[in-house]
Amino acid sequence: MPSSPLAPGLPPLAPPSTAAALVIGNELLSGKVEEANVHVLARTLRGLGVELRRVVVILDEIDEIAREVAALSASHDWLFTSGGVGPTHDDVTVEGVAKAFGVRAVEHPLLAKMLRDHYKERCTEGHLRMALVPEGATLEASEEIRWPTIRFKNVWLMPGVPEIFRMKLPVVASHIGTGTRFVSRAVFTKMDEGDLKPLLDSIVENFPDVGVGSYPKWHDTTYRTKLTFDGRDEARVDEARDAFVALLPEGEPQRTE
Amino acid sequence: MPSSPLAPGLPPLAPPSTAAALVIGNELLSGKVEEANVHVLARTLRGLGVELRRVVVILDEIDEIAREVAALSASHDWLFTSGGVGPTHDDVTVEGVAKAFGVRAVEHPLLAKMLRDHYKERCTEGHLRMALVPEGATLEASEEIRWPTIRFKNVWLMPGVPEIFRMKLPVVASHIGTGTRFVSRAVFTKMDEGDLKPLLDSIVENFPDVGVGSYPKWHDTTYRTKLTFDGRDEARVDEARDAFVALLPEGEPQRTE
């Protein structure tokens, strides 16, 4: 096995798994509801060493969902859909995912039984729509979360309701958490981005394996710009941060993390 | 002019203008920063009668930005980019937009002058990166907001910092607000979506010109499901809501808006 050019003698880190999110819901694009799942998904994936590379938000339209699911699932290791899995006319995610892969949406016997047991004599055709899955889907569950999550190949069909979305993340994590996690360091300074640019450029050039970010803060008395250093090789991330701090003038930084 | 099939005698409403948003920033996809501009953009556009149809969030990569800008600006009336317009190495939106249209990124004399006047002898090459625009871009400003917003054809280059993004929205509104605005009504009930489905289906069938949404609420003692009715023809929206309310059993709805 070749050694890493950046850390001689050590085997190179395998590239991270990649992920995309497809967020479905007219209510988000009309501004009626504020999206609340992407941020928590991003943080969860980060902790698992999975790189979230793209998020797409679209309307409740089957053909549009099918097109995006086909494209995003082919170009990423994992795809997470959020929303559109309830019983009403605007819940068309299952049909969209099925169409993306050219299979039918069919009633899953276990989900149908769970719905009938739960709603008993009140169970309607509407409730049973929640038993539909793309034909061939698997159900993922854990001891803590009885209600399973639908997975079809590399696509996880997550609910849009934020409280339920969060409840399901541990099940996701138990299946996909195999990579080296990302670490992140930060430096806070009172310098502005225009003055920081040449210093940052030298770090970016010397540490191509570390992601360097620069974020100005509006209205904060303790600092003006936050610099971040990210990667999966902790020693290299620390080295990049320390090299940057060494370039700062006297009186800086305000603090580091 | 043909009359509307839905409101005989009245001319049909022109279809709404469409918009997309392209949100650029590694910090959003890594979960380091929570996205805060899409929701306010969505609400602003809604009030202007413009339909936001798609949001895409991507990394700070020029080629990726160029690809998305080319596709989204061709398929929508307006495109708003958010982020990547500062002075550092990860601010590559101007270059990405320029590349999408096959033009160069050039220094705009007015922006360069404003930056030099502001930073005076402290003005660096880094600061002057903020004077770059896609060649042929226009600068949009208003009396209230001295610092202009870069527009190239139908693409508005908005800043990622939420406070500045919000400050710039009135300038956008003064240029694109020509359509009939959307109106929205809501009905709150204690029924669940499974039971509501047949009632909703009948409204969806009879009011194809009204958008009908159904949103379950988790942990609320005053209602279980919120139904929404949206459109640009206020009378039709009210009619759809009232027709739905008439289908509800005794004791419902809990309230309407």
Q: How close B154 gets to chain A, by Cα (Å)?
A: 19
First to last CA, chain A: 34
Query: Omega into B253 within 30° of 0, i.e. cis?
Result: yes
Q: How many helices (H) and strands (E) does chain B have?
A: 9, 12
Higher per-residue confidence, B145 vs A233:
A233
pLDDT confidence of A1, banded at 50, 70, 90? very low
Contact call for A204 and B89, based on CB within 8 A: yes
Average pLDDT, chain A: 91
Phi, psi torsion values for A113, nearest 5 degrees = -65, -40
Please list the alpha-helical segments (H only) found in chain B.
26-29, 38-47, 62-75, 93-100, 109-119, 125-128, 162-176, 193-206, 234-247
The answer to whether B230 touches B210, Cβ cutoff 8 Å, is yes
Residue of A nearest to B125 (CA): A194
pLDDT digits (tens, 9 = 90+) for B194-242: 899 999 999 999 999 999 999 988 778 899 999 999 998 999 999 999 9
Cβ–Cβ pairs < 8 A, chains A and B: 187
Structure token digits, residue A226: 């936050």
Which residues of chain A lie closer than 8 angstroms to B57, CB-CB? 38, 54-56
Identify which of B101-115, B143-157, B169-183 has the greatest average pLDDT.
Answer: B101-115
Mutate to test the interface with A, among B37, B168, B193, B202 (most CBs of A within 10 A): B193
Which residues of chain B lie closer than 8 angstroms to A89, CB-CB? 197, 200-201, 204, 212, 214
Contact call for B163 and A218, based on CB within 8 A: yes
Residue among B57, B124, B211 whose CB faces A55 most closely: B57
Q: Residue A36 to residues A161, B39, B130: CA-CA distances in angstroms? A: 9, 11, 32
Structure token digits, residue A35: 């999206």
Query: Helix, strand, coil: what percent of chain A each, to 5?
Result: 40, 25, 35
Sole residue written with tokens 């099918």: A66
Residue among B130, B161, B193 whose CB faces A126 most closely: B193
Report which secondary-structure segment, H or E, holds A179.
none
> 3-class DSSP state for residue B163?
helix
Mutate to test the interface with A, among B29, B91, B184, B227 (most CBs of A within 10 A): B29
Contact call for A90 and B212, based on CB within 8 A: yes
Residue among A58, A198, A218 whose CB faces B54 most closely: A58
Which residues of chain A lie closer than 8 angstroms to B87, CB-CB? 193-194, 197
Please list the alpha-helical segments (H only) found in chain A.
26-29, 38-47, 62-75, 93-100, 109-119, 125-128, 162-176, 193-206, 234-247
The pTM assigned to this predicted structure is 0.90
Q: Rounded CA gap, A79 and A19, in Å? A: 6
Structure token digits, residue B80: 């708003």
pLDDT for B101 equals 98
| Contacts for B167 with CB less than 8 Å, ≥ 6 apart | B145
Q: How close A9 gets to chain B, by Cα (Å)?
A: 29
pLDDT for A220 equals 81
Report which secondary-structure segment, H or E, holds A136.
none
Which residues of chain B lie closer than 8 angstroms to A46, CB-CB? 30-31
Which residues of chain A lie closer than 8 angstroms to B195, CB-CB? 122, 124, 126
Q: Identify any residues that bridge with A152 across adjacent strands, giving them in sequence order.
A: A155
Of A53-57, B7-11, B91-95, B139-143, give the lowest mean pLDDT range: B7-11
Residue of A nearest to B229 (CA): A27
Sole residue written with tokens 């994590």: A173
Q: Rounded CA gap, B54 and B18, in Å? A: 9
The answer to whether A157 touches A138, Cβ cutoff 8 Å, is no
Residue among B52, B195, B218 whose CB faces A163 most closely: B218
Residue among B164, B198, B219 whose CB faces A126 most closely: B198
- Buried/exposed code over B21-36 (b: 16+ C-beta within 10 A; e: otherwise): bbbbbbbbbbbbbebb
Q: How close B127 gets to chain A, by Cα (Å)?
A: 4
Average pLDDT over residues B2-29: 77
Q: How many CB atoms sit inside 10 A of residue A8's CB? A: 7
Identify which of A92-106, A209-223, B113-127 has the greatest average pLDDT.
Answer: A92-106
Q: Please give the torsion angle defined by the CA atoms of residues A59, A61, A66 and A67, in that order, rounded to the nearest 10 degrees.
A: -60
Q: Provide the CB-side half-sphere exposure for A244 (13 A, CA).
A: 33
Identity at A115, one-letter amino acid code: L
pLDDT digits (tens, 9 = 90+) for A178-228: 678 889 999 999 999 989 999 999 999 999 999 999 998 877 889 999 999
Residue of B nearest to A115 (CA): B194
Edge-to-edge strand order for the sheet containing A183-189?
A211-216, A225-231, A183-189, A255-256
What is the ipTM metric for this complex? 0.90
Q: Rounded CA gap, B150 and B168, in Å? A: 11
Contact call for A88 and B34, based on CB within 8 A: no
Contact call for B123 and A89, based on CB within 8 A: no
Contact call for B57 and A38, based on CB within 8 A: yes
Query: Helix, strand, coil: what percent of chain B each, to 5?
Result: 40, 25, 35
Residue among B33, B126, B216 whose CB faces A195 most closely: B126
Structure token digits, residue B242: 């009232």
pLDDT confidence of B178, banded at 50, 70, 90? low
Q: How close A93 gets to chain B, by Cα (Å)?
A: 15
Average pLDDT over residues B8-29: 84
Structure token digits, residue A251: 């009186």
Q: Rounded CA gap, B177 and B255, in Å? A: 32
pLDDT digits (tens, 9 = 90+) for A131-177: 999 999 999 987 767 789 999 999 999 999 999 999 999 999 888 87
| Contacts for B70 with CB less than 8 Å, ≥ 6 apart | B100, B101
Q: Rounded CA gap, B132 and B153, in Å? A: 16
pLDDT for A31 equals 93
pLDDT confidence of B1, banded at 50, 70, 90? very low
Average pLDDT, chain B: 91
